[in-house]
Amino acid sequence: MSAANLPHSLSCSLPLANGDSAPTAPPNLPPVSDLADDFEHLFAQLRTYLKPEDVDQIAAACHFSANAHRGQFRSSGEPYISHPLAVAETLAYWRLDAQALTAALLHDVMEDTSITKAQITQDFGKVTADLVDGVSKLDRLENQSYEEAQAENFRKMLLAMAQDVRVILIKLADRLHNMRTLDAVRPDKRRRIARETLDIYAPIANRLGLNTLYCEFQELAFRNIYPLRYRVLSKAVRSARGNRREVVSKILDTIKERLPAHHIEAEVMGREKHLYGIYRKMREKHLTFSQVLDIYGFRIIVEDVPACYLALGALHGLYKPVPGKFKDYIAIPKANGYQSLHTTLIGPYGMPIEFQIRTRQMHHIADSGVASHWLYKDEESMSELQRTTHQWLQSLIDLQTASVDSAEFLEHVKVDLFPGEVYVFTPAGKILSLRRGATPVDFAYAVHTDIGNCCIACLINQESMPLRTELNDGDRVEIITAANAAPNPHWLGFVKTGKARAQIRHFLKTKQNEQSAALGKRLLSQALHGFGHRLEGLGSAAWQRFLKAFSGKTQREVLTDIGLGKRLPAIVARRLLGDRIADSQQVQSAGAIRIKGSTDMAVQLAHCCRPIPGDPIVGVIRAGQGLVVHTHDCPTLRGGRKEWVDVEWDPEVTGPFEVMIRVVAQNATGVLARLAVTIAEHSSNIANVRMDEGEGATTALYFTLQVDSRAHLARILRNLRRLPNVTRIIRLKENQPPNN
């Protein structure tokens, strides 16, 4: 069924414009009588805007695709060629070029037939072949789960889209036809595809300004994920439509009379809100259907921008506006290029009604979004839309650079596709659009990655504010940087944008790998010294043999694996030395590895015993964690001596280090204050404090202190014991029960 013949129950379907006449089917096509109407409709549309030679190329692609898919059928029983034809029809509605339409007709041949990319390149050119390849799925590996394979396919598709946005337009048209024909697949697959559409494809359509497609994706997904809710809500809307028809007609007539009185020529359309939008409002605001009053709205289309504001004034003079319900997306367009005035007014009988006021060109862009670029290539008004779209596509490349695996990349993309925006200003007056809930750290990374990495503080509206502050519309944000600053891992707890999250993780992982490689080098040197050899004396031949025989990685990657605990240094040392040592040879170990501080990401201080400088310590290599430092008497170390590594505190070790203490004190006024003052007098910070009621007249207080060394802690404890109300103080290990 062509898009033109779809029922009108979905108000955001994509009707294709009918041509003046229905020409005969293109030559050289296989005789598929059931699809003759679809062929005729497609080529009638194409001849309205493409050159004859382009139409001939698309006809050849039809013939090629029909032959390739001959004998294949969809789940609905239709010949498979009906699907590529439907995809091409949607692209023809968007008036895409011949290369995109050719790729649409061929988009499944690489996946479902024996046709190769080389064959497509030979017959239709490299650009078309690249588009088909961008839409095609990767071959699934045997050890990949469905989720991993899907994430990898999404990454491939989105990165191809960053090179050529037509890739995603073809994929969106492909998904649209699949969603329209979901009834033919089994229920579990239907729900999975619908959920995927709602989570990924609908937000992408919205981000590209394809509002009509975005709405239909939501409606179709809602119908397939929650079929019963869809039917109930649809019935309720039909009933309300009859009850409110008189009111809506009265408003429509009044507006059509009022606007000409103000010398405004306009097209006025009443519209019913989409079922998914009503359902989402009911769910988010915990409303019943009867409480959702604004299920109707009106769209007013005028000739130019001044007329938009004149119409707004006329409407505000007719009905009272609802405070806080006015949005000027003409002065400040949405990130996807959408422009319109939105206002909510109180109509007759107290019914709230939303009005959208826009020009014809704005209406076209709201419908076709970035796809309208091919129709309006030279219009100046399109340059901003093209620029913002290019910036978003470029951000996908940045996310790819900062993401390690496909699942992480997809997570970041989902974050950036989240609806809701906040508009803030740079010190120079430039407007930036960020996700709702974004913070100054998100703002810093949106300006430039280097500014985000070096961010230390911020000014919001010329006032110093914490970096985790949520930004509001109209805020003026200034970022303060320092040359030697670095991202804080705690930022991951509050940043909202995918770019900020990806770049912070990338920086931390890079830093961890650098430190892990340095630690691995020290551990390997120590192991080689134990066999009487030095790392510097190995030579390149030993490394080449090892890398070829055992890992296939680089020398740096092997050292990083050692530092992360993925390889044991003694085993690597033996394999590097080969015949130069005997299995029984054992030489005295080299000096201990020095622990320089608590900020080394390759070295972790164990939470079970919380070692601080001055404590006797031992190191243990843990897979994926690297070197973990424990106190020598930590109970968790029993029975694992073979894994121990000699470590010692560096003489110039830097803190602070966290330690827990338990203070038992008599209940008296001001005890907690005196404890806090004493701790502060000895240059220690209290990271956390809690209390439990003790027995009788005593209370147990638990402090997490930041200290420089064991001697520093001893001075604090000594002075705390001198306080008159303190009866007992002990240092706690995390694995000790509170009553120890």
More confident residue, 596 or 333: 333
Residues 31, 63: Cα–Cα separation, whole Å: 10
Catalytic-labelled residue, pool 20, 112, 164, 378: 112
Which DSSP symbol is given to 434? Answer: E
Tokens of 716: 């604090």
Residues 130, 150: Cα–Cα separation, whole Å: 20
Tokens of 209: 């300004």
Three-class SS of residue 486? coil
Q: Is there a catalytic annotation at residue 112? A: yes
Instruction: Give me the DSSP letters along 111-171.
Output: HHSS--HHHHHHHH-HHHHHHHHHHSPPPPPTT--HHHHHHHHHHHHHHHHHH-THHHHHH
Report pLDDT for 587: 46
Residue 61 has pLDDT above 50, yes or no: yes
Instruction: Say if residues 120 and 129 touch (Cβ distance below 8 Å).
Output: yes
Residue 395 has pLDDT above 50, yes or no: yes
| Positive or negative: CA dihedral 47, 48, 52, 54 | negative
Tokens of 27: 């030559």
Residue 733: pLDDT band with limits 50, 70, 90: confident
**318: how many CB neighbours lie within 10 A of its CB?**
15
Tell me which residue has tokens 């912070």: 504
Per-residue pLDDT, averaged over 435-454, amounts to 90
Residue 211: pLDDT band with limits 50, 70, 90: confident
* Per-residue pLDDT tens digits for 558-612: 887 777 766 777 777 777 877 666 544 444 445 567 777 655 556 778 878 888 8
Angle at 278 between CA 273 and CA 282, to 5 degrees: 160
Tokens of 381: 């008004």
Q: Where are the alpha helices (DSSP H) in 28-97?
A: 36-46, 52-68, 82-93
* Per-residue pLDDT tens digits for 76-98: 888 899 999 999 999 998 888 89
Residues 73, 47: Cα–Cα separation, whole Å: 29
> Which amino acid does the sequence have at 256?
K
Instruction: Give me the DSSP letters along 503-544.
Output: HHHHHHHHHHHHHHHHHHHHHHHHHHHHTT--GGGS-HHHHH
The contacts of residue 324 (CB under 8 Å, 6+ apart) are none
Report pLDDT for 163: 72
Q: Where are the alpha helices (DSSP H) in 226-359?
A: 227-261, 275-285, 305-318
Instruction: Say if residues 577 and 542 touch (Cβ distance below 8 Å).
Output: yes
Task: Name the average pLDDT for the chain.
Answer: 78
Report pLDDT for 599: 54
* Per-residue pLDDT tens digits for 645-661: 778 888 888 778 888 99
Instruction: Say if residues 560 and 510 touch (Cβ distance below 8 Å).
Output: no
Q: Is there a catalytic annotation at residue 378? A: no
Per-residue pLDDT, averaged over 414-430, amounts to 73
Q: Kindly state the greatest CA–CA separation across the chain.
A: 103
Residue 644 has pLDDT above 80, yes or no: no
Catalytic-labelled residue, pool 34, 53, 56, 111: 111
The contacts of residue 453 (CB under 8 Å, 6+ apart) are 485, 486, 487, 503, 507
Q: pTM score, two decimals? A: 0.59
| Domains, the chain, ordered by start | 3-225 (1.10.3210.10), 229-376 (3.30.460.10), 385-505 (3.10.20.30), 508-651 (no CATH), 656-732 (3.30.70.260)
The contacts of residue 286 (CB under 8 Å, 6+ apart) are none
Instruction: Say if residues 475 and 425 touch (Cβ distance below 8 Å).
Output: yes
Report pLDDT for 397: 61
Residues 740, 415: Cα–Cα separation, whole Å: 46
